[in-house]
Structure formats: structure tokens, C-alpha cells
Amino acid sequence: MNKIQKVAALFIVVTVCFAFSQVKFSVNARLADQDPKKIYTEKCASCHGERVDAFVDRVWKHGNSKDDLIKSITYGYEDFGMPIWGGILTKKEIEGMANLITESLKTVQQYDFAKAKPAFTGPAIFKSNGMTVTLDTVVTGLNSPWGFEQLPDGTYLITDRSGVLYHVDKNKNKTAITGTPAVLAEGQGGLLDITLHPKFDQNGWIYISYSKIKEEGGKKLGTTAVVRGRIKDGQFVDQQEVFEGLPYASTRHHYGSRLVFDKKGYLFISMGERGQEKVFPQDISTSPGKIHRINDDGTIPADNPFAKDATAKATIYTYGNRNPQGLTMDPVSGLIWETEHGPRGGDELNLIKPGVNYGWPVISYGINYDGKPITP
């Protein structure tokens, strides 16, 4: 080896050693910075509460011991929306997270709703330029109320994700309505939104969205579906399915589910992308990740943007939506507005227009729960 080759070889060795030491220093510095509380605040609080308060009424399907938590954090449960952290956090960080949650569980009962003091002792009145709002309690003793409608007689219909439809009378007494569809009440699924037909006083039609169950290959699959029916003698009767999102999925989240009629009598239905952002939102041959529009009987409006496209679901009105859990009509203008959230940041308020691609996940101003970017 000549002198020049020796110098070059020495330079390479020094460079590699320096680079390795820098990487080692970088990793060590990162470990020193990643305190469990900091990790929890940055990566977990958006779903589980800043004070771990979301665990107060949690049913622990996978156990809540330290070892159980380490397994859950490391491997995740993606069908239920729990990310895999094993490739993001170190073993030491995951153990620290498990310790933090285990310790927090010892005091989490302080956040129990049953122990919470009401913010107001009676009806609270709020005044604005446009209206005066009175806040009062309509009913108590619900599990996870998801949608409600006030009937012409002043009473209420309330859906509970556990699978129960309640009628609440003027004395705040609730009665369960029987005969509602079976639901996949796991994760974010269950009995979901409810709305009345614009001519309810004439035809009595009530529309309910829910997570419909299908068994395939020994697995339970679910989708967003909408049924209409009437209530007679405390039973949900005359049922007709008007929408069924396809395909079904094994995940248990992002159903969307919101229902709203516009001034022309069309029914708009929101459906989330079922946690499969790389599969459904941009594919108009599938239902998830879309806003759909149908006639009141489930048939397709002739002017739907994809009604004549044989490769698309004819019910689609918009696509590229994540999990649209807000849907409403401006009573003055008649415009339809939609909201969707996350994952971390990137929340959207959208004016719904026919055939528009709202971008998910091609463009998003949020980041994934694990901190990785969604779009460049």
C-alpha cells in the first residue's frame, strides 16, 4: 500500500468512527430526553386524555398489568386503532410508559364521572347575538350516547353505542325501543346516528346508522349501514336498509356515521375510511372514506357525481375523507358542512361539494399518532 492509499484508508476509518460516535451520542441524547410523561403527552394524550383520565371506565380487553401494557404498546392492536410502537420507541421507553400508566391507574378513579360535581346547579343560560341557549339535563344513565332527535311532541330519541335506542319522555324517563338492528358494539362501533325524515309528521320514517356485522372465515367484520323504520308500540318496525358501505372491514373504528337531510330531501351519509387510509379514501370503487348521497328510499339521485361511472360507487358525493364525524346543514343557506379530525392535527371544516376530492391521505396538515409525517 503506497502512502496515498494509507492516508485515504486512515481518513475513512476516522470518518466512520466519528460518524459512529455521533450516532451513539445522538441515540444517548434522545434516550435522555424521552421521559415517559413527555412521550405520553406527545403521542398518547390525544386519544387517552392528558391525565390518563380516558382509562377511568375502560374495559381492559388485553389486560392492564405492566406486562400486558408493554405487549399492547409494543405490538399494538391496529384493528382497534392502537398503533404499533415497537419500532418507534425503545424497550426502555416502552417500559417507562407501562410504569407511568400503571401508577396512574392507582388514582384514575378521581376522574370518574359519577364523582364529578356539576358545573351548574340548575339550567344555565347563554346569550349571543344570534340566540339564547339554555343548558339543561335531558336524561341520565346512558352508556355512550351518540345521536339524538327531538320529536314533534317535544320528547327525544337517543341512540347509545351499546346498541340501544331510547325514547325519553317529558319527565326525563327513558324507555328502550326494541327491534333495532344487531350492531358490532366494539371499538367505535355500535348504534350510531339518528335523523328524522323531513316529512316525519306525515310518514313517520326514522333513519339510524350503525355498525353492521358480517361473519366471514370465522372473523367478525363490520361496516357502516343505514336503516329506516318506524316506531310502533315501543318497537322499531317496517325496517328497510337504505345504505350498506362496501367492503366490510376487520377494523373497529372510523365509521363516520353522521346523517343529514338537505332542503331537497336528499340524505347525506358520512363514512370513515375504517382506519385504512392507504386503501379506501382515494378509491371510488369502495364506500369508506366518503360522503354519500341517496334518495330517502335508498335509490341513487340521477345527478350524483359518479352515478354514470360503472367503476365507482354511485352513492359517492365526495371522497378523500378521513373520519367525518360532523355533518350538518346550514338552515339558512342549505349548504352542507362537514368536519373530520386528525390524526394529530390536520382537523378540517369542509363545505361539501359534489365530486370533490378532500385529499386524505394524499394531503394532510397533521401527522400520524406515532409522530411520522403523513404527506411530504
Q: Is the pLDDT of residue 333 over 60?
A: yes
- Domain boundaries in the chain? 34-111, 137-351
Report DSSP letters for 232-278, one per residue. ETTEEEEEEEEEE-SS-BS--------EEE-TTSPEEEEE--TT-TT
Written as nine digits, the cell of 49 is 386524555
Predicted confidence band at 46 (pLDDT cuts at 50, 70, 90)? Answer: low
Whole-angstrom distance, CA of residue 307 vs CA of residue 314:
4
pLDDT of residue 35: 86
The reported pTM is 0.79
What residues contact residue 205 under an 8 Å CB cut-off, 6+ apart? 196, 197, 199, 228, 229, 230, 296
* 256-312 per-position pLDDT tens digit: 999 999 999 999 999 999 999 999 999 999 999 999 999 999 999 999 999 999 999
> Catalytic: 167?
no
Averaged pLDDT, 130-159: 95
Q: Is the pLDDT of residue 214 over 90?
A: yes
Q: Is the pLDDT of residue 328 over 60?
A: yes
Q: Is the pLDDT of residue 191 over 80?
A: yes
Rg (CA), the chain: 25
Whole-angstrom distance, CA of residue 110 vs CA of residue 108:
5
Whole-angstrom distance, CA of residue 166 vs CA of residue 155:
11
Element (H, E) at 45: helix 45-48
Yes or no: say if 295 and 243 are a contact pair by the CB < 8 Å rule: no
pLDDT of residue 29: 41
Predicted confidence band at 362 (pLDDT cuts at 50, 70, 90)? Answer: very high
Residue showing cell 485515504: 8
pLDDT of residue 1: 53
Mean pLDDT of the chain: 87
Residue showing cell 346543514: 329
Q: Which of 349, 351, 346, 338 is nearest to 363 (CA)?
A: 346
Written as nine digits, the cell of 347 is 382537523
Question: Which range among 3-12, 267-276, 311-320 shows the weakest confidence by mean pLDDT?
Answer: 3-12
pLDDT of residue 123: 72
The size of the chain, in residues, is: 376
Whole-angstrom distance, CA of residue 368 vs CA of residue 376:
12
- The dihedral over CA atoms of 137, 258, 180, 275, expressed in degrees to the nearest 10, equals -110
What residues contact residue 164 under an 8 Å CB cut-off, 6+ apart? 143, 176, 177, 180, 191
pLDDT of residue 55: 65
> Taking every pair of C-alpha atoms in the chain, what is the biggest distance, in angstroms?
100
Predicted confidence band at 148 (pLDDT cuts at 50, 70, 90)? Answer: very high
CA distances from 313 to 84, 98, 223, 349 (A): 32, 44, 15, 24
pLDDT of residue 81: 74
pLDDT of residue 217: 92
Q: What class does CATH assign to 34-111?
A: mainly alpha
Q: Is the pLDDT of residue 186 over 60?
A: yes
The share of the chain scoring above pLDDT 90, in percent, equals 61
Averaged pLDDT, 101-128: 72
pLDDT of residue 38: 82
Predicted confidence band at 23 (pLDDT cuts at 50, 70, 90)? Answer: very low
Taken in order 128, 133, 134, 138, the sign of the CA dihedral is negative
Yes or no: say if 317 and 333 are a contact pair by the CB < 8 Å rule: no
The share of the chain scoring above pLDDT 70, in percent, equals 84
Yes or no: say if 158 and 142 are a contact pair by the CB < 8 Å rule: yes
pLDDT of residue 45: 75
Q: Is the pLDDT of residue 242 over 50?
A: yes
Whole-angstrom distance, CA of residue 265 vs CA of residue 185:
30
Instruction: Given the residues 48, 197, 253, 254, select the one marked as catalytic.
Output: 254
Residue showing cell 350503525: 210
Sheet holding 235-244, edge to edge: 191-196, 206-216, 219-232, 235-244
Q: Is the pLDDT of residue 52 over 90?
A: no
Written as nine digits, the cell of 286 is 369502495
Q: What class does CATH assign to 137-351?
A: mainly beta
Averaged pLDDT, 45-70: 73
pLDDT of residue 58: 63
Predicted confidence band at 88 (pLDDT cuts at 50, 70, 90)? Answer: confident
Higher-confidence position of 314 and 376: 314
What residues contact residue 118 under an 8 Å CB cut-off, 6+ apart? none
